[in-house]
């Protein structure tokens, strides 16, 4: 392994994995503890009609935190890093869209509830601070989808031959079959 790959892993990939995965795992932990409050927060965004889509809102209130938790823990461990980062990146895009919906509809006054009752960086009232925070968190998610978890990720330990370069240019093959092994 080159010094450049080690430096990238230590300086970028590990911190991105731990910070992004940790933020989502913490947010999930705060929501799992009070699912009802999270369901009220989802209703407050007024994206779905609370009467017609009550079951969907309740399902989302139970499902979103567990997806955040699983993806966050996988990201911290570096296991299925690209998939976990992609899941969190897609969630961030949906969250940003929801925040923009509230910001541009002056009739809606909603609290973010992103981290449960805790307000990290931003106040609880939905505003541009949450959009900027989510955009900042989107950067490491995109980077990890592009470059993977790095040398010190479980992904690399499981399949050490699977490098981001090999995966992108197609030179990596999970099963090497020599033509002499094939019998007609």
Burial class (CB in 10 A: 0-12, 13-18, 19+), 78: buried
pLDDT band at 172; cut points 50, 70, 90: very low
In the chain, where the domains are located: 10-157
Please give the pLDDT value at position 50.
80
Question: Tens digit of pLDDT for each residue in 65-113?
Answer: 999 999 999 999 999 999 999 999 999 999 999 999 999 998 888 887 7
pLDDT band at 1 (very low <50, low <70, confident <90, very high): low
Separation of alpha carbons 181 and 178, rounded Å: 5
Terminal-to-terminal C-alpha distance of the chain: 39
Q: What pLDDT does 160 receive?
A: 55
Q: How confident is the model at residue 168 (pLDDT cuts 50, 70, 90)?
A: very low
pLDDT at 68: 97
Listed ranges 3-7, 46-50, 112-116, 137-141; the one with the highest mean pLDDT? 137-141
| pLDDT at res. 181 | 45
User: In the 8-state DSSP scheme, what is residue 180?
Assistant: G
Four-residue CA torsion sign, 101, 103, 105, 108: positive
Read off the pLDDT of residues 134-160 as tens digits, 9 standing for 90 and up.
Answer: 999 999 999 999 999 988 889 888 875
- CA 160 to CA 19: how far, in whole Å? 24
Weakest mean pLDDT among 54-58, 74-78, 118-122, 144-148:
118-122
In this prediction, residue 164 has a pLDDT band, given cuts at 50, 70 and 90, of low
- In this predicted structure, the answer to whether residue 179 has a pLDDT above a threshold of 80 is no
């Amino acid at each position: 392994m080159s010094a450049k790959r080690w430096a990238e892993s230590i300086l970028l990939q590990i911190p991105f994995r731990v910070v992004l995965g940790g933020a989502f795992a913490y947010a999930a932990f705060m929501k799992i503890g009070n699912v009802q409050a999270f369901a009220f927060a989802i209703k407050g965004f007024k994206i779905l009609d609370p009467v017609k889509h009550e079951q969907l809102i309740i399902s989302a209130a139970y499902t979103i935190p567990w997806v955040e938790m699983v993806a966050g823990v996988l990201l911290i461990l570096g296991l299925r890093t690209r998939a976990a980062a992609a899941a969190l990146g897609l969630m961030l895009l949906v969250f940003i869209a929801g925040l923009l919906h509230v910001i541009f509809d002056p009739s809606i006054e909603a609290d973010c509830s992103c981290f449960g009752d805790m307000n990290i960086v931003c106040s609880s009232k939905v505003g541009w601070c949450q959009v900027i925070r989510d955009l900042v968190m989107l950067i490491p998610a995109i980077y990890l989808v592009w470059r993977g978890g790095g040398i010190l990720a479980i992904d690399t330990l499981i399949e050490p031959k699977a490098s981001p370069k090999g995966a992108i240019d197609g030179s990596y093959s999970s099963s090497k079959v020599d033509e002499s092994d094939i019998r007609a």
